[in-house]
Structure 1
């Protein structure tokens, strides 16, 4: 365990539309919406996930390995104003995230196969990515696309998100591809509820969520989209 990282708890649930409307109605009077949402109370997230030549991230998740990591580039609302390369770390029941900003030119270089832009001595994450791409053939694998409705509670530093309209790209791994053919990766009536917190969930939040009555599962958007591609295209892993 890297003690320099800030680890948090993460719970995931797959819920239907009816459960979503009930839970959201309870939450609205007791928590705040994230400050970054637009007029609809949502924002759009698109990520490009990477994996190595052995599909290590995919197989470790499918195999139930508890300590693992995933790499992704993430943008918001289809804009290049904010581009991050992120490493999400899982340790037992805790998660942590490292990230570094990218410019659009850096992104273009990476997806075209020029990894030298990551060879930055004073940026440990970028250097790690450079090593992974040079030595383990870390490469783009799949686009993960969804709409997020986020809420926050300062007590316990709780973050509650409803992730809707999960889609993946069929014909491209370029997150800025204007001709991207994105298709639903799960049934439209399903929504992924995520609850992240530091040490505790306040009882009034727990009561509103009624977590005990929900079906907790390890709903990895990356795995869902990779499985969709395997089922509906010629992709093999």
Structure 2
């Protein structure tokens, strides 16, 4: 574990829409929607996940390796106003995330395979990206697309998210492609529930979620979309 990072607990579950509506109504009484959401209480997320020449991130997840990392570029509501390059780190049952902002120009350079500008950026994460792209052949692999409804709570630093309509961009790798039409990657009735917290979940939130009645899942959106890609195309990993 890197002591310089802030690690949190993360639990994931598949739930159906009936369970979602019950949980949502209960949570509205104890939590608030994230301030970044609109009047609908939701926003759209599109991520471009990277992996190396050996598909290390994919195989480590499928192989049950507990300590691992993933790289991605993420945007919100299909806009280039906020573009982040992110590294998600898993250590045992805990997660941490580090990120750096990208400009649209930086994104376009990366997509064109021109990454040398990262080398002297002065940003450790971007310099790490440079080395991964140069020496491990880290490259874009799949677009992951969904709608998120987030709830947040001050006590316990709790964040509850319902991720809906999970889709994949198949072989597309340009997250700003206006003609991109992502394809559904899981059943329409399924929603991914994620529960993130620091040390504890307040009792009122535990009561609202009733997690003891649910089965924890790995629910990796990256893996789901890569496996969908393999099943429905020629991809071989």
Confirm or deny: 8 A CA contact 1:110 1:117 kept in the other structure.
Answer: no
Tell me, in whole angstroms, the C-alpha distance in 2 between the residues paired with 1:120 and 1:139: 20
CA RMSD of aligned residues (A): 0.7
Contact 1:171 1:180 in 2 (8 A): no
SS in 2 for 1:236: coil
| Structure-2 residue corresponding to 1:103 | 103
* Alpha-carbon displacement from aligned partner over 1:107-160 (angstroms, at most 9, x marks no partner): 000011001122135200000000000000000000000000000010100000
Q: Is residue 181 of structure 1 aligned with residue 218 of structure 2?
A: no
Equivalent positions of 1:108-123 (< 5 A) are 108-123=108-123
Distance 1:49 1:21 in 2: 30
Alignment: residue pair count: 237
Rounded Cα–Cα distance in structure 2 between residues aligned with 1:231 and 1:134: 29
Write the distance in 2 (CA, Å) between the matches of 1:154 and 1:176. Answer: 34
Pairwise mapping of residues 1-237 of structure 1 onto structure 2 (< 5 A)? Answer: 1-237=1-237
CA distance in 2, matches of 1:170, 1:220: 16
Q: Point out 4+ residue stretches in structure 1 off by more than 3 angstroms.
A: none
**In the TM superposition, what whole-angstrom CA distance separates every residue of 1:135-190 from its partner, at most 9, and x where no partner exists?**
00000000000000000010100000000000000241100011113100000110
TM-score when scaled to structure 2? 0.99
CA contact 2:142–2:171 (8 Å) conserved in 1: no
Whether the 8 Å contact between 1:170 and 1:181 is mirrored in structure 2 is no
TM superposition shift of 1:88? 0.1
Runs of 5+ unmatched residues, structure 1: none
Measure how far apart 1:103 and its partner are.
Answer: 0.3
